[in-house]
Structure 1
């Protein structure tokens, strides 16, 4: 299990290197998702008929590349189509779906022991998901900010009609949208490049801090998963249990984000992750039951931390370059995940040393989050200029009025 896991985490590092290209804001989320669903369906189905292990690894590599872009763009669409009060609920519901998927995977893998058949059971439904992307709305916010008001207006009218605005065709005009979002459109006249993420001091600070948080979160998470190989437990049952545990973990994350805020929520969860890792160090190998309980409980905490971190990162980044920024942050996370199994080589010098590193970085990431702004009930920044503004009162009132008024969310 250890060798297989090391291989997978190394592949994760490669997958995320391509994530920035797949989530480029120049193509649009819908086109990216349709392409990625098509690629995912083809390569996953082809993997079931792989003649050699090398071909199988190559196809799984392409599948992981597509999955990363699908997950990133799905979260962006949820965030950009939802008012601030319900953004975390939308993201958490998507994480609930991931938990149910993990439970389903464990159950079907227990029933269907033939890997080829199991592969087809999960790959064929992806073709139906590809068809559904035809009715998926592009982000109107992204379209307007990137100087495509006509397309953005079409999506706004569609959303307004779904929300009960029968006269949306009359009230929603290009003039209305451009006048209401005049400030945002003026700021978006200059398309930001990749270098803009690090040229602006305010955005650069956010990027470095978010990269460190994602790096530490994934390294600690994969460190806990590495510990599973030491547990004498049915792998199907364990996989199902982790999926089940992710459901209440995400609910707790939703509650914490709404009541404590994004920063305090991440501090709480990552501190508990670090404490769980330190506790495992002092539990003898013979006490398998206690080690299993600590590992499984610790496996739910990173799930809550990841949900909180995902929401916070999306809310801190401007619309014009959000996807690209998330791609870079994803690279930082994948480096942390790839580094986790490599740290296990330090056991030759000191057996608890890797676990100490996992725990320290988990607690550090929780503390670093406190250096980032709180985003609870705050409007999404649309441009880099929004990041620079210290007084968000006028922008919040205007943006919320625009988004609610034109779509009736």
Structure 2
């Protein structure tokens, strides 16, 4: 039988799969802790310098600076203020640089070596470098540890996201993908709560990293992805995993016999990876469009965050709101992407265009519009809400557009361009020196262009998942597989929801 048929037999989202998915989804709380660490650990409290001339050296500065005692940070310990303040941002930039490299390396590695070993290795080193950050004796070691945390955390979370998709039937990919992103947003708020009660930065870094140990020890129970095993021609191992899933779903031991996949990767073939994203015309076209969409999602998201009404006041409340404002985006996008009249493609297009229009409309509104629905701050927040929804969908959509053998490689390349968008976003507001409307024009045009480009991609709702590149290049594959699914649905007592 085909792999999708087997999932219909053993269960697409049974109790066992729910436990596996819940574990990986909760892992996103730990990922959020690491991603947001510098926001609180690098925060600068109020301080006073008891002389007019700013000392040139850190040692001299330390003698004349007095910080408020409400919390500590790397800024208070190493006096990263004034001419040294850029080092806080540098540590954050090094984290994102690590994410770039992690996304590039871990995707192809997991496509070649397997999902579980690459995920486990990434999580292990993520924890090690996280503790190095907490106990760093100086700024230089702290900054370098953040680079390696970014590399391992970004790569590991990418692979764990793919596992949440490949453990379940395709009809539940949207649900598992949305839950992953939703939990990340909630994790930001939990981190803010943690920071509110733990004001000493080393202890906060230590406590924030410690949940990784719990997840690492329990990760040994995770099976390998049956879809990856099947795509590699390891049919017997894929059958064992599917039988294990059936048992955890409460079904009696089933005889799962998969058909040897004709398009499975052969020993003499070149290993699938980044090269195939360029070499094959279908993948090349999709990758170029998806890279731009991911870049725009990140650029507009972080750009709107910087312009969504000056969130003054309590630092911890602001960090919590930064995460919680995204929460309504997930049920919103879940509603639309499962409807046949909208699907993945049209929903992504609509959300991106709405975000772009919100930015453009903001350009024409005066600042003092009060609490009106059309005030600049509320429009910007609505824009952030919709771009968050688009961001959520594009994760799911990208997973479905790439075949199993290059899925992680494709997600890795797209995530890489996403990081570039995040890095560039803070510089766009500086264009206000030319004209106050230019930043919103950049965000607006970017959102609109990405939305319309999405229409060039195929719809994936209720379509079979390609396992190899050959599936994309064979037009009859989709027809034959759809017909076979229809036949199985009418002739078998098991319901296959595709």
Asked if TM exceeds 0.5, the reply is: yes
Give the one of 209, 213, 218 matched to 1:132: 218
Matching of residue 245 in structure 1 with residue 330 in structure 2: no
Q: Deviations over 1:163-186 (max 9, x none)?
A: 233232xx23xxx32xx2433437
- Structure 1 runs not aligned, ≥5 long: none
Who is 1:262 aligned against? 344
The equivalences for 1:317-328 within 5 A come to 317-328=402-413
Correspondence for 1:375 among 418, 438, 460: 460
Is residue 97 from structure 1 mapped to residue 183 from structure 2 by the alignment?
yes
8 Å contact from structure 2 (residues 93, 423) kept in 1:
yes
Which of 253, 256, 281 in structure 2 is aligned with 1:167? 253
2:276 to 191, 196, 212: 196
Alignment of 1:145-156 (within 5 A): 145-156=231-242
Task: Kindly indicate whether the alpha-carbon contact (under 8 Å) linking 1:278 and 1:359 is maintained by their aligned counterparts in 2.
Answer: yes
- Counterpart contact for 2:105–2:155, Cα < 8 Å: no
Specify which structure has the bigger relative contact order, considering alpha-carbon pairs within 8 angstroms and separated by 6 or more residues: 1
Alignment-derived partner of residue 161 in structure 2: 75
Residues 311/408 of structure 1: CA separation in 2 closer, same or farther (3 Å cut): same
Partners of 1:37 and 1:44 lie apart in 2 by 10
Mark the structure with the bigger radius of gyration.
2
- Structure number having the greater helix percentage: 1
In 1, distance between residues paired with 2:163 and 2:485? 17
Instruction: Summarize the Cα distance change of 1:281–1:54 in structure 2 as closer, same or farther, 3 Å threshold.
Output: farther
Q: Secondary structure at the match of 1:51?
A: coil
Which aligned pairs between 1:110-125 and structure 2 lie closer than 5 A? 110-125=196-211
Q: Which residue of 2 aligns with 1:18?
A: 102
CA distance in 2: counterparts of 1:319 and 1:161, whole angstroms: 25
Mapped to 2, the partners of 1:312 and 1:245 lie a distance apart of 22
Give the conservation status (yes or no) of the 8 Å contact 1:343–1:354.
Answer: yes
Please tell me the root mean square deviation across aligned C-alpha atoms, in Å: 2.9
Choose from 222, 225, 234 the match for 2:302: 222
Measured after TM superposition, the shift of residue 390 of structure 1 is: 3.0
Map Cα deviations across residues 356-380 of structure 1 (whole Å, 9 max, x no partner): 1111111111111110000012121
2:474 & 2:202 partners in 1: Cα distance? 55
Structure-2 residue corresponding to 1:8:
92
Q: How does 1:278-289 map to 2 (within 5 A)?
A: 278-285=360-367
Check 1:385–1:21 CA distance in 2 against 1; reply closer, same or farther (3 A cut): same
Cα distance between partner residues in 1 of 2:424 and 2:314: 27
User: Distance in 1 between the 2:120 and 2:296 partners?
Assistant: 32
Asked whether the 8 Å contact 1:219–1:336 carries over to 2, the reply is yes
In 2 relative to 1, CA 228–64 (structure 1 residues): closer, same or farther, beyond 3 Å?
Answer: farther
